[in-house]
Amino acid sequence: MYYLKTEQSFDSAHFLKGYEGKCANLHGHRWRVVAMIRGEALKEDPQTGGMLMDFGDLKGALKAICDHLDHCLIYEAGSLKAATLAAFEEEHFRMVEVPFRPTAEHLAAYIFGRMQEKCPSVCRVEVYETPNNCAVYEA
């Protein structure tokens, strides 16, 4: 079995509505994301022969996802009052609404799903909320 990994990062804010602790407050992270693909056979065509996948394509797929989440507020649908949303929009803050509580675990599954669209052989996504705390989603 062959494996390839690539890594990207992004900076964003989030909060956990209903959480009893400091993560209920709006705060930010430098999220580190590692994606891995796997396969038993290497390509045989002239361009990508001997490769599982072109690293550039793998890197580009993860970068596009991370760029979408970079420098924004990631928030759960329904977690902000309409007046708060309106105020953020009036200030032209970039926000990404997601249908889940934006925990590291949910973000790992979300990024995994988005990676699958371009890299069906994705087998693992790691999301580091801090250098020492990581959530993993595997196929």
User: Cα separation of 97 and 95, whole Å?
Assistant: 6
pLDDT at 132: 97
- C-alpha dihedral, 128 to 54 to 67 to 123, nearest 10°: -40
Give the tens place of pLDDT for each residue, 4-28.
999 999 999 999 999 999 999 999 9
pLDDT at 64: 98
The total number of structural domains in the chain stands at 1
Q: Which backbone phi and psi does 84 adopt, to 5 degrees?
A: -65, -45
Q: Is 128 exposed, middle or buried (0-12, 13-18, 19+ CB in 10 A)?
A: buried
Helix axes 55-69, 104-118, angle to 10 degrees: 140
pLDDT at 72: 98
Q: CB count, 10 Å around CB of 105? A: 15
Domain containing 65: what range? 2-138
Give the active site residues: 23, 71, 129
Give the tens place of pLDDT for each residue, 49-98.
999 999 999 999 999 999 999 999 999 999 999 999 999 999 999 999 99
Q: For the domain that residue 105 is a member of, what is the CATH number?
A: 3.30.479.10
pLDDT at 115: 98
